[in-house]
Structure formats: C-alpha cells, structure tokens
Amino acid sequence: MSQIVLVRHGQANSGAKDEGDYDRLSPLGHQQAGWLGEHLRHRGDVFARVWTGTLRRHRETADGIAAETPADTIEDPRLNELEYFTLSQLLADQHGITLPTTREGFVHHLPSLMQHWQDGKLEGAPESFHSFEARVRDAMHDISALPGRSLVVTSGGLIGMAMRLTLRLDMTAFCNVCLSIQNTSLSAWLPLEGHLALTQFNALPHLDTPDRQFAQTHI
C-alpha cells in the first residue's frame, strides 16, 4: 500500500530577511531532525524512498533524519517552498504592507499576502498561486502512485497546500493551517478511491516529552 509522510524541515534561520539567508538549519533544527530520525528507527520504520525539495534546509533535515530506505534520496523541485520573502518584498513595494517582526504579525500578514498572490496582484512573482497549487497537486499525485511508503521532507507552505487540496480549505483556513505547522512535524496521507485521505497531521512524537517541549517550534 502506498503512503505519503510529509515532514516539515527543522527550524531554519528565523532571523533571516531573504530566501538565501533563511535556507539553512539552526542548531536546534539539526537537533530536531536527529531526534525524529531516532524515533523512526526506534519504531522500525522503513521507507521505500525518501524525497526532498532542492533547498538546503530540506537536504539538511533529511540527512539528520537518516531514514531507513533501500533507495537513494530523490530531489524534486516541485517540493520546494513558495518564495515567501520574495513575495513579501513585492507586497511591501507594491502595496505598502511590510513584513512583520513578530509571530502575531504573521497571523495577519500571511492571509493578506496569500490573497494578493491568488488574485494576481503581485507583479513579478516568481510563480503564480495557481502554479504553486498545481505543482503540489501533481507531486502528491505522482508520489502516491508509487508502491510503498514515501518520506517527503519539505516546507510548511507546501504541507499547508496539500491540506488545502485534501480538505478543500478556503483561504482563511489554509493560512491558519500553514501557521500551525511545526518544525519536523509529521503529516500522512493514504490513497483512497482515487483521492488522498489525510490520516495524520502535525504530529511531534519525537518532541512530546517534558524535556523536549522547548524544541516544538513554528519559526
């Protein structure tokens, strides 16, 4: 039976202001990945294949997990994150809505950014909202068509979009889901009569002890 397990990358450089500077794990991010790998090996989990996007933080997280698999890791650019910092700069330049500095600020910023993007109001965006949606749909479809279990190391926006496609979320719900996805969390899908069924979301079994709760991070 096919199964897709999506993992959000470990904590990245949360003080970054652009795509390149963000794209590396923090020391805590490396630790989160290592703990997840230990958890999966302790459970005896073996995956038919491991997938990542082409981003450094994806590869570093996958290396830290070091999942049991008989095949080489597959890199697929369709699994890359939306370019949040790039889109945010366009939103600031074209509409005067600046990138926030607090988590509370992101609660309001993300829906505004996504709505402008979906409506085609960010001139010069690296891809359209609908192209992002389509590549996530295509990647999930292609991976789910393969036999066995696939571990997919990716980013929060992509996992949020997979949730939007699965549950037909509106923009508000989609943004709320994106904001809730934690670093190195596990979310899982199974094919069901031509569709993908969600079986797990945002689980942190490797961090669910009192001594590791400090490591449960969103940004």
- Domains of the chain, by residue range, sit at 9-82+127-213
Least confident of 13-17, 197-201, 214-218: 13-17
With 0.85 as the threshold, say if the pTM is over it: yes
Least confident of 99-103, 124-128, 135-139, 204-208: 99-103
Which residues in 23-166 belong to E strands, given as ranges? Answer: 49-52, 74-75, 149-154
CA distance 99 to 113: 10
Least confident of 13-17, 73-77, 164-168, 206-210: 13-17
Is 157 a residue whose pLDDT tops 90? Answer: yes
**Residue % of the chain over a pLDDT of 90:** 86
Is 9 a residue whose pLDDT tops 80? Answer: yes
CA distance 165 to 8: 17
**Residue 215 has what DSSP assignment?**
G
Is 107 a residue whose pLDDT tops 90? Answer: no
For 36-58, write each residue's pLDDT tens digit: 999 999 999 999 999 999 999 99
CATH class of 9-82+127-213: alpha beta
